[in-house]
Amino acid sequence: MKIGIIGAGEIGGTIGTLWSKAGHEVCFSSRNPHKLTDLVAAAGANAQAGTIAEAADFADVILLAVYYWTTDEAIEAAGSLDGKILIDATNPYIRTDVIQRVPYASSGLELAKKLPNTKIVKAYNTLPTAVFANGHHRGEPYALFYCGDDVDAKEVVAQLIIDSGFIGVDTGKLNQVIHQEPDGILYNYIVTVAEAQTLLAPLQQSSMKVG
């Protein structure tokens, strides 16, 4: 799988490295790709660096892992994302004097409106970087929640979650994304699949599946 990483910071760099080491072709991106030399070297032979537009053009799947307040700038730099699978790892926080939650905002739903021809799957936004860096490929893998409207895209993302050392738990369509975002019942819980099912029970997600 060819994967473009838009936002090669802690989350994007960590997840992209896990995918690269799992055998996927990964293109990390930056407005200054030469600054990603160390990251590319650490990620291994399957990794490369390019501009945001180059990573988007290269990829079948894109991981968007940028600050919420830079989302518009990032997708503008990417160019057309029509037909691509985009994994949205953003969360609706803004930076003022401190980082704070944007009331009533859903970064996932906003992104879907901005990119109506892109297959949006929300994932990799519910856990801190340290868990991705140190908690992958456990004997009993941690659960990673995801949701979206395109069934085929979700199957691709579910496999990528497995490849990165976790187990995906499908929480339904994208209109359920608020449960995965800050203040949601599924946000920031480090759990196994069995524990994830307990968290999901109140939401009565009859379409939930593990994969």
Q: Could you read off the pLDDT of 59-108 as tens digits, one per residue?
A: 999 999 999 999 999 999 999 999 999 999 999 988 766 667 777 789 99
Smallest CA-to-CA distance from 47 within 13, 74, 72 is with 13
Provide the pLDDT for residue 211.
Answer: 53
Provide the pLDDT for residue 4.
Answer: 98
Amino acid at residue number 174: L
Residue 211, Cβ density class (10 Å: 0-12 exposed, 13-18 middle, ≥19 buried): middle
Q: Which domains does the chain have, with CATH numbers?
A: 2-210 (3.40.50.720)
Cα 176 from Cα 164, distance rounded (Å):
23
3-state secondary structure (DSSP) of residue 97: coil
The pair phi, psi for residue 38, each rounded to 5°, is: -65, -40
3-state secondary structure (DSSP) of residue 11: helix
pLDDT digits (tens, 9 = 90+) for 109-168: 999 999 999 999 999 999 999 999 999 999 999 999 999 999 999 999 999 999 999 999
**155: Cβ contacts below 8 Å, ≥ 6 apart:** 211
Kindly state the tokens that stand for 123. 């994932």
Cα R_g (the chain), whole angstroms:
16
Provide the pLDDT for residue 95.
Answer: 73
Q: Where are the alpha helices (DSSP H) in the chain?
A: 10-21, 37-43, 52-58, 71-78, 107-114, 129-134, 151-163, 193-200
Provide the pLDDT for residue 104.
Answer: 77
Distances (CA, A) of 149 to 60, 112, 119, 152, 173: 17, 10, 8, 9, 5
Provide the pLDDT for residue 98.
Answer: 60
pLDDT digits (tens, 9 = 90+) for 13-68: 999 999 999 999 999 999 889 999 999 999 999 999 999 999 999 999 999 999 99
Provide the pLDDT for residue 208.
Answer: 42
Smallest CA-to-CA distance from 56 within 17, 86, 35 is with 86
Provide the pLDDT for residue 204.
Answer: 55
